[in-house]
Structure 1
Amino acid sequence: MTTRWFGAPVQRFEDDRLLRGHGRFTDDFDEGALECCFVRSPYAHARIRSIDATAARAMPGVIAVYTAVDLPFGGVDLPLLIPHPNLTHGRTQRCLASERVRYAGEAVAFVVAETRYLAEDAAELVEVDYEPLPVVITPEASSRAEHLVHDDVPGNVAAEMLQEVGDVEKALREAPHRKRLKFRYERAAASPMEGRAVWARWSAGDRKLMVYDSTQSPTSIRGGLAVLFGLPESNVEVIAPDVGGGFGPKIMLFYPDELLVPYASMQLGRPVKWTEDRQEHFTAVNQERGQVHEVEVGFDAEGRVLALSDDFIHDGGAYTPYGIILPIISAAQVPGPYRIPNYRVRFRDMYTNATPTSPYRGAGRPHACFVMERTLDAIAADLHLDRIEVRRRNLIQAREFPYDVGVAWQDGNTVVYDSGDYPTLLDKAIANLGPKPAGDNVGMGIGIYVEGTGVGPYEGAHVQVLVSGKV
């Protein structure tokens, strides 16, 4: 068995090609493709009174303009990828909105033309009559439920989940010290160097669909397209070429373009492509991060945490295409490497009139780490103790493994740490970090984090054996 992956740097082979400009990204594919753009809502919340694409369709060079009524799947909600029993009011958008838009950037029409320039000009001729509605733009406003994002979702609550280990109320009552804290974590957009892009070609003769997609999940998209268009999977090929940054949002499926570009190619008999611009990325690609945490912590005079209660709201945006994976992960990861004998966490996943959320760079983990580490800093400040020493006193000890955290992980199983030596890890990190550099403008912080790996309840592998016998 080869050991070249262990104990030595793994050599990268793609760098030379990419650095010399020889990469091939989705937008590089052409073959005389028609180009597209979307008509997107400028309103965060509005009722659509009418859509008139007559002038756009009459413009020279415009091949097609699609609205929801022009699509055989226009009235079908996009899939909810990961259902959950606590997600009692899951909602997903449609390829093109026809009755109501719920975030600025939601697509209402799709324009196909000979060039992108013509498509953009034609998009400005699509007349959409909007009736603006009250906007719910922060999770706090959503929780007040003065206005609803979805009329049939009480209180704007997509999901609620409560978990408790130990007796938190009793431990808080008896704790020598108690403190209430509020932490706010703002939204963020991924902003990869390469935005999203899709290119598709339909071969009518052999009924085969070829798609290039700047995505992190080509196999899942392949399966979904096969089902949507009634094709065997063997007749659908989805390739992710060079991808200029994914970071999570590109693992999402389906975005409207991933259905509309192939559909247009099948209808029009020519290759079709769409490439996202930077403004679209900030409004129409899933985001992450927005959470507000209300924490109550009980601790002793030595800084040891006796009880922790975290009640937080998660900004899910206008829809929940990826279920409630993000707040579940946050809830599970708040304790981190620390011994929290009494832990209670409740979250509510709230609808807002903002871009939907899905996993992005840490997928709920940074929120949890931020909450726990800032809580320990607050304890240290209250007791006039060294921040590192407070962490050391709360770390799970090596003899305590396997350690059952007692709350659910994203796969439904209880979080159990199998092994580790966190105190030694902390000591080595501090030794390597060294003393704080001189200067008032030089800060030094510390944060400790446990990553969840081996996510079950299954694992899979593919092995390819060539005719030569090479694996």
Structure 2
Amino acid sequence: MSGGGRFVGEGVDRVDVAGLLDGSAAFVADLVPPDALHVAFVRSGLASARIVSVDPAEAKAAPGVVRVLTGAELARHVAPIRPPANSRAPQRFRDFYQVISHPRQIPCLAVDEVRYVGEAVAAVVATDRYLAEDAAALVSVDYEQRAAVAGLDDALAPDAPRVHADLDDNLAVSLTLAKGDPVTRGEDLVVVEGEYRIARQTGLSIECRGVLAQPEDGRLSVWSSTQVPFILRQLLCAATGWEPERVRVRAPEVGGGFGPKASVYAEEVVVPWLAHELGRPVVWLEDRYENLTAATQARDNLHRTRLTVDGDGRIVSWEDDFLVDLGVHNFWMVGVVANTAMHLLGAYRIPSVRITGRAVFSNKTPTAQYRGAGRPEASFALERSLDHAARRLGVTPAKLRQLNILGPDDLPHPQGVPYRDGVDVVYDGRDYARVLTAALDLVGEDDLADLKRAALPHERVGFGVGVYMEATARGPAEPETARVRLTPTGTLAVATGTGPSGQAHRTVFAQVAADAAGVELAGVEVTVADTDAVPQGLGSFASRSAVVAGSAVRLAVGQAVDAGRAALRELLGA
């Protein structure tokens, strides 16, 4: 094989953008066949209630209705959704951080109770979405309303209602992180304390969630707007008892993910089960109201901090006791809390650290990993505390950071704590101080002065500084695979289990493959996010695809090239 040069690290024309620009790219809604049945879900309007009865009789008689499925009926055939296999941290991690956690298994449709507004109680299947929606409004649900846990301020109160009746209280996760000797208070030390709240947020993708399932040749094909096709197949098969070989999951084009689509939802089990039962294509396309009430949310933190510095501004100790409101559940509950705890270490020299992290259950929408999954919250608390200390000392925020940030003499920097995969955390950068200085150099004092002079009376001009550390792309516990073959036309066909939700995965994997094989970029075809295409994978999250899946592509192409050379030598008798 011959090629025209290296592609990784170079600006290239994307190989995957034409369909997104001309409208030919296919999202879940574009794949719906004409004979598909449509699902509408009956959802709770109460945050906490006992279900007294569900009467579907009037809905069953409505025009176009094919099926009405209640939670009690589904529970006879489908088990609750359990946390994914990779959500449990290794024992070394759990022992080090003294982790206590109470993972939840979640019913696909509520049976005896509802625990948040938007929880699905029943599913109505009809010949189109409009008829399904009309019929869903006819399902009569009798609730007995209960007191709800509204959030962090009351979740751990002694008299708080329990969100999950099998638990003693609403504590979902607790862990601790301690480094260095405790600090003895002295007169020359400056102590700043703060309380920081990070509000609940969610990722509003342009494309809402959606799932289409269709029986095909004795198997079930599932298309979902998901970031994690392999995890979806794993949890779908665990709930239904189906063999994984019977199910093919694909993610077509995904119109934004941001983390909420890296979770697995009840709808992604109910729709395939209905398709299997009815022997027909079945689809559900989330509307924006459902998205705002039922799709996973995130953040919702309270941090109580104490930062101690000496008279010169050097950090002496850092403490944070933080709470996270998980809502009714979070499949990644330990990971989210641990992310915050570990990233509170920051990019600074901090000789003494005391961190306590707790997560609570409440009667809010479930949460998941969204845009950093606990990392930005940690950075916010630490960086605001540094700003507070700078004001107390009468120095600029930039100066205080320059004094404490890790420099070339500190790096590599072993933190002495394990990450969630059990591997020790080592900062392997060369010079964080230089990065900070380079960033500050971009903000010229003259430029800032000009902006201030030009500002209108009601405008305020200034700049802030912050340092953000992020651990990403963990590999050993979350592997990806790649499959490579040379087609009869000479094209290199590359497949991986992870796929894009607006990013340029196909282009990146093509660049990696073309470089490894020594071929032109146009000579590579990439298939992504298909459980039939590769034997194992997870998905696209935590900035991992280019590193983990890209490495798998490079290794697979290398093996293919070696095999091709060996075959050629044998053919030529060399």
* Range into which the TM-score falls when normalised by the shorter chain: over 0.9
Does the CA-based 8 Å contact 2:407-2:434 persist in structure 1? no
Instruction: After TM superposition, list the pairs within 5 Å mapping 1:52-451 onto structure 2.
Output: 52-72=55-75, 76-81=79-84, 82-84=87-89, 85=94, 86-147=99-160, 148-168=162-182, 170-172=183-185, 176-203=189-216, 206-253=217-264, 255-435=265-445, 436=448, 437-438=451-452, 439=455, 440-451=459-470
CA distance in 2: counterparts of 1:124 and 1:152, whole angstroms: 32
Does the CA-based 8 Å contact 1:187-1:289 persist in structure 2? yes
Residues 231/304 of structure 1: CA separation in 2 closer, same or farther (3 Å cut): same
Residues 187/172 of structure 1: CA separation in 2 closer, same or farther (3 Å cut): farther
Cα deviations across residues 244-266 of structure 1 (Å, max 9, x unaligned)?
Answer: 1011111112x111111111111
Cα deviations across residues 354-380 of structure 1 (Å, max 9, x unaligned)?
Answer: 111111111111101101110110000
Does the CA-based 8 Å contact 2:117-2:364 persist in structure 1? yes
Cα deviations across residues 366-420 of structure 1 (Å, max 9, x unaligned)?
Answer: 1011011101100001111111000001101211122122334222333221232
Letter in 2 for 1:161: L
CA distance in 2: counterparts of 1:134 and 1:172, whole angstroms: 44
Deviation at 1:75, TM superposition (A): 6.7
| Alignment RMSD (CA, Å) | 1.9
Cα deviations across residues 82-127 of structure 1 (Å, max 9, x unaligned)?
Answer: 1355243222321001111111111110110011111111111111
The one of 15, 23, 33 equivalent to 2:17 is 15
Q: Are residues 1:37 and 2:40 paired?
A: yes
Deviation at 1:143, TM superposition (A): 2.4
SS of corresponding position for 2:201: coil
Of 301-310 and 150-159, deviating more is: 150-159
Deviation at 1:231, TM superposition (A): 4.3
- 5+ residue gaps, structure 1, are none
Residues 5/139 of structure 1: CA separation in 2 closer, same or farther (3 Å cut): same
Letter in 2 for 1:249: P
Letter in 2 for 1:83: R
Does the CA-based 8 Å contact 1:178-1:297 persist in structure 2? yes
Which of structure 1's runs of 4+ aligned residues deviate more than 6 A? none
Deviation at 1:454, TM superposition (A): 4.3
SS of corresponding position for 1:405: strand
Instruction: After TM superposition, list the pairs within 5 Å mapping 1:1-12 onto structure 2.
Output: 3-6=6-9, 8-12=10-14
Q: What's the counterpart of residue 26 of structure 1?
A: 28
CA distance in 2: counterparts of 1:406 and 1:75, whole angstroms: 44
CA distance in 1: counterparts of 2:12 and 2:481, whole angstroms: 21
Q: What's the counterpart of residue 564 of structure 2?
A: none
Deviation at 1:229, TM superposition (A): 4.3
Does the CA-based 8 Å contact 1:161-1:348 persist in structure 2? yes
Deviation at 1:320, TM superposition (A): 2.7
CA distance in 2: counterparts of 1:89 and 1:426, whole angstroms: 40
The one of 441, 452, 459 equivalent to 2:471 is 452
Residues 407/310 of structure 1: CA separation in 2 closer, same or farther (3 Å cut): farther
Residues 343/357 of structure 1: CA separation in 2 closer, same or farther (3 Å cut): same
Does the CA-based 8 Å contact 2:48-2:114 persist in structure 1? yes
Aligned pair count reads 466
Residues 226/356 of structure 1: CA separation in 2 closer, same or farther (3 Å cut): closer
Deviation at 1:13, TM superposition (A): 2.6
Letter in 2 for 1:352: S
Residues 227/130 of structure 1: CA separation in 2 closer, same or farther (3 Å cut): closer
Q: What's the counterpart of residue 538 of structure 2?
A: none
SS of corresponding position for 2:172: strand
The one of 456, 459, 462 equivalent to 2:482 is 462
SS of corresponding position for 2:284: strand
Letter in 1 for 2:165: D
SS of corresponding position for 2:101: coil
CA distance in 2: counterparts of 1:332 and 1:455, whole angstroms: 14
Residues 72/158 of structure 1: CA separation in 2 closer, same or farther (3 Å cut): closer
CA distance in 2: counterparts of 1:3 and 1:68, whole angstroms: 56
Does the CA-based 8 Å contact 1:171-1:307 persist in structure 2? no
SS of corresponding position for 1:453: coil
Residues 214/434 of structure 1: CA separation in 2 closer, same or farther (3 Å cut): same
Letter in 2 for 1:216: Q
Residues 212/90 of structure 1: CA separation in 2 closer, same or farther (3 Å cut): same
SS of corresponding position for 1:186: strand
SS of corresponding position for 1:137: coil
CA distance in 2: counterparts of 1:88 and 1:146, whole angstroms: 21
CA distance in 1: counterparts of 2:461 and 2:43, whole angstroms: 45
Deviation at 1:235, TM superposition (A): 3.0
Does the CA-based 8 Å contact 1:172-1:178 persist in structure 2? no
Cα deviations across residues 105-154 of structure 1 (Å, max 9, x unaligned)?
Answer: 11110110011111111111111111111111221221224322122323
CA distance in 1: counterparts of 2:438 and 2:346, whole angstroms: 18
SS of corresponding position for 1:357: coil
Does the CA-based 8 Å contact 1:172-1:306 persist in structure 2? no
Identity of aligned residues (%): 38
SS of corresponding position for 2:245: helix
CA distance in 2: counterparts of 1:201 and 1:305, whole angstroms: 59
Letter in 1 for 2:252: P
Q: What's the counterpart of residue 534 of structure 2?
A: none
SS of corresponding position for 1:263: helix
SS of corresponding position for 2:486: coil
Residues 76/461 of structure 1: CA separation in 2 closer, same or farther (3 Å cut): closer
Does the CA-based 8 Å contact 1:175-1:306 persist in structure 2? no
CA distance in 2: counterparts of 1:443 and 1:122, whole angstroms: 56
CA distance in 1: counterparts of 2:341 and 2:65, whole angstroms: 50
Does the CA-based 8 Å contact 1:83-1:323 persist in structure 2? no
Of 80-89 and 38-47, deviating more is: 80-89
- 5+ residue gaps, structure 2, are 493-556, 558-574
Deviation at 1:226, TM superposition (A): 4.0
Residues 59/173 of structure 1: CA separation in 2 closer, same or farther (3 Å cut): farther
